[in-house]
Structure 1
Amino acid sequence: MDHVTVQGTDEDIKAALLDVNLPNLLLSMYCITGDQTWIAEDQAPAPVLAPEGSLFPDDTGGYSEAQADAIRASAAKVLIALRDGERTPGSVPNPEQFRELLEYGMGEEVTSGYANMLLEETGLIDRDQNWLPVMSRTDAAKRADFEVLIIGAGMSGLGMAAKLKRAGISFTIIERNDQVGGTWYENRYPDCGVDTPNHFYSYSFHRNPDWSGYFSKRDELFAYFDRCADEFGVRDQILFETEVTRLQYDEINQSWQVHLKRGDGETEVRTANAVVSAVGQLNQPSMPDIPGLEDFEGDQWHSARWQTKDLAGLKVGVIGTGCSCVQLLPKTADQAEHTRVYQRTPHWVAPSRDYYRSVEPGLIWALKHIPFYAEFHRARMILVFADRSWPAVVGDPAWEDQSLSMNEANHGMREALTEFMRESLGSKQDYLEHCVPNFPVWGKRLIVDNGWYETLAREDVSLETDGIERVT
C-alpha cells in the first residue's frame, strides 16, 4: 500500500479516528502491523445484526466507550509511527487471510469464493491480471490494429475504454450527447441520485475517497464520471454528438460497418473489428399510452428529460411510483400547490439512516491516509448492503403463503416495512392498504426511502390508485 501515506498532526489523526468504523480499523491495523492482538477473540466485533424491532443493522462492532477509546488510542500510535517513518505500511493479506479477516470483522461466515471476489472489488489484487498477461503476449502492433467501437460514454462505456487502453487495443467511443456520464448527464430531476452507497457505486479500480454523502446526488456523480474520462485518458477517443444509425456485419471480412450521423447532419461509415453496446437499459424515456395525453395543453415531460420550471402555485400530476418518482416527489411537493400521485403498483420502500447523511471528515481522511482502510470499508459496505439479504429470499417449502412472504425472515421484513409505512403515513392510514405490495419483500428491487410515505401523508399530496382513463 505504498500509495497511501499518513498525514496530519497527532491531534488530526486522533480526531479523525473518532469517525471511523472500528471493525475496519482493527483489520487495517492488523494488516499494517501483523500483530495478532488486533484480531484477538476477546475484542472481536459483534455480528452485524439489526436489534429486535429495528430495520437498521448495528455496524459499530458493539464496543463499549472504554473499549472504543482504547482501540483508537492504540491505532493512533501505529499511525503516528507510520507517518514518522518508524514502521512500514504492512503487506496485502493472502486470499485465506483476507477471508478470515472478513469473517472476524463481520462476525459471520464468508466463503472463499466471496472473499476472492472482494479481493478484486477492493483492488487488493488486480483482477486485470486474469487476462492481461495473455493479452500482452499478442503482438503490440496487432493489438493496436484491432479497432473496437464502443456505443455510449456512460459508466460502462468509460470503464470498457479504460480496460481497452490498458490492453493496448484501439477504440473509439460514440456518444450522442455532448458530454460523458450517460444517465448521470441526462437525468436532472429533483433529488436525482444513487440508491446504492457511493463507496461501492464507483469503479473498483478508480475509487473516489471524496464523496460528500453516503448516497450522493446527480451533480457529484456526473463530476466523478466526467473526471474519470480525463483520468483514464480516453476523452480524446470520444466522438460526441454522434449517433449510430445502423450496424452491418461483413461476414467476408469479419468486421462491422458502423453507420454514424453527427449532430450537424454529416454521415460517416466506419469499420470496426468489434462493437460494444454500452447504451444502458432504461435510458430512453417511455411515455405511457394514455388517451388525451397527446392533446393535453399543460406542461408535460418525462422524469428522464426534466424541464426546469417553477412549479409554485401549480397542480402537478406524477404518473408512476418507481425509483425516480420516489426521489423527485418530496421536492416537487415542496414547490407545487398540490401534487397528485397516480400509482399502478406499490413497491417496498426501505428506510435508510444514511440517505441524506454527509460523510464524516474523519472517514474521508481515513479512506485517503490509512493503509487498507478504504479496501475494508468497500468490502464491508458490499457485505452489509448487498447479499446479506439472501436468506430472506430463499423459499421455505413449508411456508404457508408464499404469495406474501417466502420464509420467516422474509415475513419479518414484511411486517417491519409495513409498520414503517403505518408510522410514516400519520393521519392518512387509509392509504396503508394501497401502499402495501401484494408480493414478497425482494420480489422486486427495494426502493430506498427519502421521505416517500411522509410526503404522501401531506395535506397537499394525494394518492390515486383507481387508474387513469383519460387526460383532459
Structure 2
Amino acid sequence: MTVGQTEGGVCDAVIIGAGFAGVCLGKRLRDAGITNFRIVDKAARPGGTWHWNRYPGAACDVQSHFYCFSFAPNPDWSRKYSPWDEIQAYAERCADKYGLRPHLELGREVKLARFDDASGLWEVSCTDGGLLRTRHVIDGSGGLHLPSIPRFAGAESFAGASWHSSQWRHDVNLAGQRVAVIGSAASAVQIVPEIAKTAGHVTLFQRTPNWVIPRRDRAYRRWEKWAFRHLPAVNRLYRLFLFLRYDWLAYPIVRTAGDSLPRRWAVSQFRRLLNESIPDPDLRAKLTPDFPIGCKRVLLSDDFFSTLTRDNVTLVTDPIERFTRSGIRTTIGAGKELEYPADVIVYATGFDTQGHHLEERVLGPGGRSLREAWAEAPMAYEGCMVAGFPNYHFVTGPNTGVGSTSVIFMIEQAANLILQCIEAAGENGLIAPTEQAMRAYDREIQAALAGTVWAGGCKSWYKRADGRITSLYPFSAQTWRARHRTLRREHFDVWPRRPA
C-alpha cells in the first residue's frame, strides 16, 4: 500500500492544485494524522501561480515576510517584495519540508469530479485516464491560472509571436524587438519597465488608467537578514507589523467608498509619484483615473510611470480596431486608423476570475453540476463549502479574494475550517452547509459589498456583467480569522455515507 492510498484504493482526500493552498492543506492533513491523500496538479512542480507567472519583472505585491506561511517563516527573502523565482523556490522547499513529495501527482489535470451516490465517495477523473476515489475533495485550484485573452479582429493574421503574460515565451529574445503590450494593470506595470531596458520599442495599449502608488521596494540589508535569521522574535514581530499595517491602512483604502484619511493618503501618494515621474501634462492626464481609488485593484510600482517617459516607450490610449500582419491598428476618430508596428504582442490582460473553471465538471449528488447550483450566482458558505455538495471543500471559493492582505493568510484560516469539517464528518460521514446557512451568509456578504468602493461605477474583474461582486471578501482579515476559527455545527448537516 503506497502513501496516499488506503485499502480498496480510496483516499481520505484529493487536493486539486499544488500551489500555496495545496501545500498548506497537505501540511495540515499530515498534522492531523491523515496521510492517505493525493495532491493533483497539471503543472510539473508545486508553486501554483508562481509556476505559471514567470514573466520579466514578476514579483509579489504583498511584502515577502507576510507572503509566506506563519508556520514556515523565511528569513532569507532578498527583498521587501520577492521576485517570482524566490517565491517558487519557497513553495518547493515547503513541499519538501512537510513531506508532501510522495503525495504529489504532477502533470495530471483534473477533468471531472463526480459524487457517486451509491458509495458516497467522490470520483476524480484526470485527463490521463486516471481515477481517484476519495472521501473528500479539497479544491485549491485558485483563480490565477486561466488566461483572459480578448478577441481582436485579425489576430490570426499577425505574423509575429504572441502570448499571454502567464505563458511567457522565454525562448524569444526581445532585445531590439518591437513589443506591443496590451493591458496596463498588475502584470503590465511589472513587465513594461523590465522589457523596456532591452527592447527596441515598447508600445503599451491602455484601455483604462489605474491608480498606482509607490511600492518602495529595496533589497534587505545584511544586518536585517541576520536579525531575521538569528532573532526569531524579530521575524514574528515584523510579520505582525505587516499584518496590522495591511488590515489598518490598506483595508480602509479599498473597503470604504467615502472620504477617509487612508484614502486621502493613497491619492496623495499617486499624485506625487505621477508628478515627480512625468513632466508632460498630457501624458499625466492619460494616466489619471476617473474613478475612486480602490474601485479597481490599486497597483504598486516604483518605476512604471518613469518608464513611460523613455524614448523607446509609447503609451496608446486609442481603442484597438484590429490586428494586421505587421502590428496593431487603432481607431483615432473620424473613421481613421493608425498602425503601430510590432514583432511581438504580449497580452497583459489578466485572468478569468468569474465562476470556477471546474463548475461544469463538478457533479454532486444526482449529477447536479456546480454550474447548475450557481445558476443564480456563485456562492459558498464562508467561501469554503456549497450546500448540496457534501465533502467538497474550497480553499479560496467565491467571495474570498482580497485586495488588502496576503492570500496566504486567508488560505491558512480557510484550512482551519476545512479540517474541522473533515473531523466532523468522521471516517464514514458526509458534511455540507445547509441551504439556509449558505444563503444567509451570502446575503450578509452582498449587503456589506454594496457599501464598498468596489460597487462603484468602474468596470473591474471583481464584478460580473450584472454588477454582482463574486470575487472579493468585504470584511477585514481579522474578521476572516475569527469566523474560520470554530466550526458552527448548527450551520451544517452531517449524515452517514451509507444507510445504517
Partner of 2:393: none
**Aligned pair in 2 of structure 1 residues 231, 306: CA closer, same or farther (>3 Å)?**
same
Unaligned ranges ≥5, structure 1: 1-140, 396-401
Partner of 1:432: 284
Separation of aligned partners in 1, 2:261 and 2:72: 40
Code of the residue aligned with 1:179 in structure 2: it is R
Partner of 2:312: 460
Code of the residue aligned with 1:441 in structure 2: it is I
1:409-448 equivalences under 5 Å are 409-426=262-279, 428-448=280-300
Separation of aligned partners in 2, 1:150 and 1:439: 40
Question: Is the contact made by 1:243 and 1:260 (CA closer than 8 Å) also made in structure 2?
Answer: yes
Question: Is the contact made by 1:393 and 1:406 (CA closer than 8 Å) also made in structure 2?
Answer: no
Shift of 1:238: 0.6
Separation of aligned partners in 2, 1:394 and 1:277: 27
Partner of 1:183: 49
Shift of 1:240: 1.2
Partner of 1:133: none
Question: What SS does structure 2 have at the residue aligned with 1:318?
Answer: strand
1:347-426 equivalences under 5 Å are 347-353=210-216, 355=217, 357-392=218-253, 406-407=259-260, 409-426=262-279
2:157 is equivalent to residue 295 of structure 1: yes
Separation of aligned partners in 1, 2:150 and 2:142: 20
Code of the residue aligned with 1:328 in structure 2: it is I
Question: Is the contact made by 1:326 and 1:450 (CA closer than 8 Å) also made in structure 2?
Answer: no
Partner of 1:236: 102
Separation of aligned partners in 1, 2:234 and 2:213: 28
**Aligned pair in 2 of structure 1 residues 282, 389: CA closer, same or farther (>3 Å)?**
closer
2:169 is equivalent to residue 307 of structure 1: yes
Separation of aligned partners in 2, 1:152 and 1:333: 34
Question: Is the contact made by 1:255 and 1:273 (CA closer than 8 Å) also made in structure 2?
Answer: yes
Partner of 2:352: none
Question: Is the contact made by 2:249 and 2:262 (CA closer than 8 Å) also made in structure 1?
Answer: no
Separation of aligned partners in 1, 2:76 and 2:255: 37
Alignment counterpart, residue 150 of structure 1, candidates 9, 15, 20 = 15
Code of the residue aligned with 1:439 in structure 2: it is F
TM value normalised by structure 1: 0.64
Question: Is the contact made by 2:213 and 2:269 (CA closer than 8 Å) also made in structure 1?
Answer: no
Question: What SS does structure 2 have at the residue aligned with 1:211?
Answer: coil
Alignment counterpart, residue 324 of structure 1, candidates 184, 187, 191 = 187
Partner of 2:84: 218
Question: Is the contact made by 2:11 and 2:132 (CA closer than 8 Å) also made in structure 1?
Answer: no
1:427-461 CA distances to partner (integer Å, 9 max, x unpaired)?
x3211111111122222222111300001111211
TM value normalised by structure 2: 0.60
**Aligned pair in 2 of structure 1 residues 322, 159: CA closer, same or farther (>3 Å)?**
same
Code of the residue aligned with 1:440 in structure 2: it is P
Aligned residues: 316
**Aligned pair in 2 of structure 1 residues 328, 237: CA closer, same or farther (>3 Å)?**
same
Q: Percent identity?
A: 35
Code of the residue aligned with 1:153 in structure 2: it is A
RMSD of the alignment, in Å? 2.1
Shift of 1:407: 4.1
Partner of 1:248: 114
1:30-86 CA distances to partner (integer Å, 9 max, x unpaired)?
xxxxxxxxxxxxxxxxxxxxxxxxxxxxxxxxxxxxxxxxxxxxxxxxxxxxxxxxx
Alignment counterpart, residue 161 of structure 1, candidates 14, 20, 26 = 26
406-415 vs 268-277, greater mean Cα deviation: 406-415
**Aligned pair in 2 of structure 1 residues 389, 258: CA closer, same or farther (>3 Å)?**
closer
Unaligned ranges ≥5, structure 2: 1-5, 325-500
**Aligned pair in 2 of structure 1 residues 341, 214: CA closer, same or farther (>3 Å)?**
same
**Aligned pair in 2 of structure 1 residues 233, 416: CA closer, same or farther (>3 Å)?**
closer
Separation of aligned partners in 2, 1:451 and 1:234: 39
**Aligned pair in 2 of structure 1 residues 449, 168: CA closer, same or farther (>3 Å)?**
same
Question: What SS does structure 2 have at the residue aligned with 1:300?
Answer: strand
2:196 is equivalent to residue 196 of structure 1: no
Separation of aligned partners in 2, 1:416 and 1:371: 33
Partner of 1:342: 205
Partner of 1:100: none
Question: Is the contact made by 1:290 and 1:470 (CA closer than 8 Å) also made in structure 2?
Answer: yes
**Structure number having the greater strand percentage:** 2
Shift of 1:394: 6.2
